[in-house]
């Protein structure tokens, strides 16, 4: 193969790789520090929640008693106007921060997800709206834990 052709191919390859990777780089990187935090307070601090006001506008639908901690359905609705994100913290889990959802234009501040709960714990939901934080919590009792196996 002649060297010029090779260069052209290499350049095209690099460009294609760049185009493929570009949209992924636009994502915020996974928050390793927050997800690695061992306490709920630390995890919340790292994601920028210094304090939050208890709010009745956040609804948490979850079983009071979960027989199987490996699969606990949690349904969250924020009725706080302009909610941009929702963080889910399972206080007694080894790594309490379970998930953070960022809602763009068009996505309603609602999510349903199945989570693992190691032992009976409060589940705290923190919603961010207009730069302020609002929270609600619910205690879930677990008969069989969901983290070991």
Partner 1 sequence: MAEPMKIRTTLKGDIAEVRVLMVHPMETGQRKDASGNVVPTHFIQEVTVKVNGRQMLEAQISQAVSRNPVFSFRLKGVKAGDKLEIAWLDNHGERSQSVTAIA
CB atoms inside a 10 Å sphere around CB 101: 18
> Segment 57-116, which members bind partner 1 (CB under 8 A)?
70-72, 75, 90, 93-95, 97-108, 110-116
The correct pick among 28, 53, 56, 130 for binding partner 1 (CB under 8 A) is 28
CB-wise, 2 or 16, nearer to partner 1?
A: 16
For partner 1, what does the binding mask look like between residues 129 and 148, x meaning CB under 8 A?
-----------------xxx
For partner 1, give the closer residue by CB, 134 or 146: 146
The upper half-sphere exposure of residue 141, i.e. CA atoms within 13 Å in the direction of its Cβ, equals 3
- Asked whether the beta carbons of 110 and 61 are under 8 A apart, the reply is no
* Smallest separation, CB 103 to partner 1 (Å): 6
Cα angle 11, 12, 17; round to 5? 100
Nearest alpha carbon to residue 74 among 54, 84, 89, 56: 89
Residue 120: CA atoms inside 13 Å, Cβ hemisphere, count? 5
Residues binding partner 1 (CB under 8 A):
24, 27-28, 30-31, 35, 70-72, 75, 90, 93-95, 97-108, 110-117, 146-149
């Amino acid at each position: 193969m002649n060297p010029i052709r090779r260069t052209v191919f290499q350049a095209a390859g690099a460009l294609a790789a760049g185009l493929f990777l570009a949209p992924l780089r636009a994502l915020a990187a996974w928050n390793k520090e927050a997800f690695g935090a061992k306490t709920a307070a630390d995890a919340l601090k790292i994601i920028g929640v210094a304090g939050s006001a208890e709010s009745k506008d956040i609804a948490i639908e979850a079983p009071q008693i979960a027989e199987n901690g490996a699969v606990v359905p949690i349904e969250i609705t924020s009725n706080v106007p302009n909610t941009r994100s929702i963080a889910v913290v399972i206080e007694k889990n080894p790594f309490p921060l379970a998930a953070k959802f960022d809602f763009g234009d068009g996505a309603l501040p609602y999510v349903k997800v199945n989570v693992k709960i190691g032992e009976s714990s409060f589940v705290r939901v923190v919603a961010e709206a207009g730069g302020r934080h609002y929270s609600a919590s619910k205690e879930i009792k677990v008969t069989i834990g969901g983290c070991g196996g």
